[in-house]
Amino acid sequence: MIDDQKILKTGTTTVGIVVKDGVILATESQATMGYLVATTKAPKLYEITDRIAMTISGSVADCQQVVRIIKANAKLHELERAKPISVRAVARLTANALFEQRLYPYISQLLIGGYDDAPRLFSLDPLGSLIEEFDFSATGSGSVIAYGVLEAEYSKDMNLDAAKELARKSIEAARRRDAASGGEIQMAIITKKGIKRI
């Protein structure tokens, strides 16, 4: 039997939204260890290339290691081929890295968003499952709350400003109702011009 006292519970909320002109990635910045708020300034949104970014949820150390591996491999890919790596290729690299560790998995739920020939969003689980999301996705302990807002208000024809506001509202709802989510909102708008951090 598992001793509940030894389980260290963590949580977070991340959101990705796809619209015709780009992708919005958003998250909050609270990191918890059980009932302790370890920090309210944890980075959970990482730039992989100048047009691809990733949100993390799960074990911070595991997620940071995945980010380091993928950033290095994306850079090598671009140097070898002398052209930018696609969002799908970054997502596949990440899925492969996660799958290789499936017996001792990286405790992670990741969203990868970016823009190459079109805006793209992918969600990944700890074992390397890879799903392209065509509207929106959310991860972490607050995702069920965020999904309620996203389901109610998402529209395929919304513009980037409306999607940015929807991302903010969904993260804000999770921050109010999920004890493991809090801190500041981190957001990136990714278009064909690149990544704009907010």
Q: Is 12 a catalytic residue?
A: yes
How many other C-beta atoms are found inside a 10 Å radius of the C-beta of residue 183? Answer: 18
The C-alpha atoms of residue 74 and residue 148 are separated, in whole angstroms, by 34
The C-alpha atoms of residue 125 and residue 188 are separated, in whole angstroms, by 21
Helix (H, G, I), strand (E, B) or coil at 190: strand
**Catalytic residue (choose from 12, 49, 94, 139):** 12
Pinpoint the alpha helices (H) of 60-142: 60-81, 87-100
The C-alpha atoms of residue 10 and residue 160 are separated, in whole angstroms, by 31
Where in the sequence numbering do the catalytic residues fall?
A: 12
